[in-house]
Amino acid sequence: MEENKTVDACPRCCPQAMLLEGEALAYQKAHALAVSLTDPASAALAAGIAQRHAARFSALYALWKEN
């Protein structure tokens, strides 16, 4: 999975770009939380959140690139 994507679009021209940036930020925060936690159960929960956000981000980015 690619860790980060940059969106080369003006948010005023492409509202999807703002959405993609939000998804990327949510993924990065969840990933950082998963890495920093020492409790295995909490780390697993945070990793699951990061994985869901990564999947959504990948799908949204692919859709954006098609248009």
Split at pLDDT 50, 70, 90, the class of 63 is confident
14-31 pLDDT, tens digit each: 556 656 667 777 767 766
Residue 3 confidence (pLDDT) above 60: no
33-51 pLDDT, tens digit each: 666 666 677 777 777 777 7
Residue with tokens 């003006």: 10
Over residues 1-21, mean pLDDT: 53
> Model's pTM, two decimal places?
0.35
